[in-house]
Structure 1
Amino acid sequence: MLVRKLRLQRGWSQEHLAECSGLSIRTIQRIERGQKPGLESLKSLVAVFEIDISQLQTESTMNSETLMTEEEKNTIDQVRAIKGFYSHLITYVLVITLLFIINFATGPDYIWALWPALGWGIGIINHALNAFEVFNLLGAKWEKKQIEKRLGRKL
C-alpha cells in the first residue's frame, strides 16, 4: 500500500516504476496488493523512492487498514454502502418484476404483488437514505461523540 502511495505521489505509472526499479510490472502489482516483497525487490524500491528500507519492511508486515487515514476509511465504507444499496435495488427490481409477472399470469383481477413491492420498497428507501447519508442522525460524528463521552474525554 505504501509503494502505491509513494508511486502516486510522484505521478508515476506502474510501468514507469517497474522500469526505474528494474522489477516487472507484475511484481509491482503484487506488492501494491499487499504481497510481501523479497529483499531484492525491497532494495530496488528503496533506491528508487530514496527512503529507508525499514519504512518498506515495516509497511509490508503491517495491515493495509492501519495505513489508511480516517477519511480514506470513511470514504471506502461509504462507497461500499452505496454499492450494497445498488445491489439491493437491482435485486428488488428483478424480484418485484417477477412477482408482477406471476401475479398477472395467475390472476390479474387482484394485484397482490403490490403489497410486497410496497413493503420492500420501504426497506429500499431506508437503505438509500442510509447509504447516501441523507439523514445522518446516527453517523460517524455521532459515534465519535458517544465514544468520547463514554471514555470520559472532552471533545
Structure 2
Amino acid sequence: MIVKKLRLQRGWSQDQLSQFSGLSVRTVQRIEGGQKPGLESLKSLAAVFEIDVSDLEGAPDMNSDINITDDEKAVIEKVKAIKDFYAHLISYTLIISLLFIINFMTGSGYMWAWWPAMGWGIGIISHGLTAFEVLNFFGPEWERKQVEKRLGRKL
C-alpha cells in the first residue's frame, strides 16, 4: 500500500512506475496488492521514489509521512467503484452484443436476446447510480444514523 500511495502522490500510472523502476507492470500490481517484494525490487522502487529501502520495508503505520489518510482511502475506494462499474459496462456490452449476434445467426424469428439485455441492463443502471453516487440510499450518512440508532444515542 505504501508503493501505491507514493505512486499516486506523484500522479503516475502503474505502467509509468514499471518503466521508471525497470519492473514489470505485473510485479508492480502484485506489490501494490500486498505481495512481499524481493530486495532487488525494493531497491528499484526506493531509487525511483528517492527514499530508503527501509522505508518501503516497514509497515505503513510506522511511517507517519506515508500513511494513507481516511480521505485518501475514501477517494481510492470511490475510484475503484467507478473502475469496477466501467469494467462491468464493458462486459455487458461485449456479452450482450455477442448474444444479439447469436440470435441473428440462428435466424429465429423471436428476439430472445432482449431479455438478458434488459435484465442485466437494470443491474448496470443500478451499479452506475451507486458508483457515481447519484442515488446513495445506504451511504456513510445512513450507516452513521444506523449505528447511532442501535447504540441508543440521540441524533
TM-score (norm 1): 0.61
State the 1:29 CA deviation. 4.1
| Percent of residue pairs bearing the same amino acid type | 50
Write the distance in 2 (CA, Å) between the matches of 1:147 and 1:74: 19
Displacement of 1:133 in angstroms is 0.6
How far, CA to CA, are the matches of 1:29 and 1:134 in structure 2?
39
> How far off is 1:110 after superposition?
1.1
**28 and 115 in structure 1: CA distance in 2 versus 1, 3 angstrom threshold:** same
Q: 2: CA distance between counterparts of 1:69 and 1:31?
A: 22
How far apart, CA to CA, are the structure 1 residues paired with 2:44 and 2:109?
Answer: 64
Contact 1:31–1:37, Cα closer than 8 Å, also in 2? no
Residue correspondences, number: 119
- CA gap of 1:69–1:26, structure 2 versus 1, over 3 A, is closer
8 Å contact 2:6–2:49 — kept in the other structure?
no
Distance in 1 (CA, whole Å) between partners of 2:151 and 2:68 is 24
**Contact map agreement 1:92 1:120 (CA 8 A) in 2:** yes
Which runs of 5 or more structure 2 residues have no equivalent in the other structure? Answer: 11-19, 21-42
Give the letter aligned to residue 140 of structure 1: P
Deviations 1:26-84 (A, max 9, x none): 4244787xxx833xxx6xxxxxxxxxxxxx99xx32359x9322221111111111111
CA distance in 2, matches of 1:102, 1:63: 54
Q: Aligned partner of 2:85: which letter?
A: F
The CA deviation string for residues 71-107 of structure 1, in whole angstroms up to 9 with x for no partner, is 2111111111111110000000000000000000002
Segment of structure 1 superposing worse, 121-130 or 107-116: 107-116
Give unmatched runs, 5+ long, in structure 1: 9-14, 16-23, 43-55
* Alignment check: 8 A CA contact 1:96 1:113 kept: yes
Provide, for residues 106-154 of structure 1, a one-character-per-residue CA deviation record: whole Å limited to 9, x for no partner.
0241111011101110010011011111011110121123223334456
Match of 2:46 in 1: 27
Asked if the contact 2:89/2:124 (under 8 Å) is kept, the reply is: yes
User: Which position in structure 2 is the counterpart of 1:96?
Assistant: 96
Bigger Cα Rg: 1
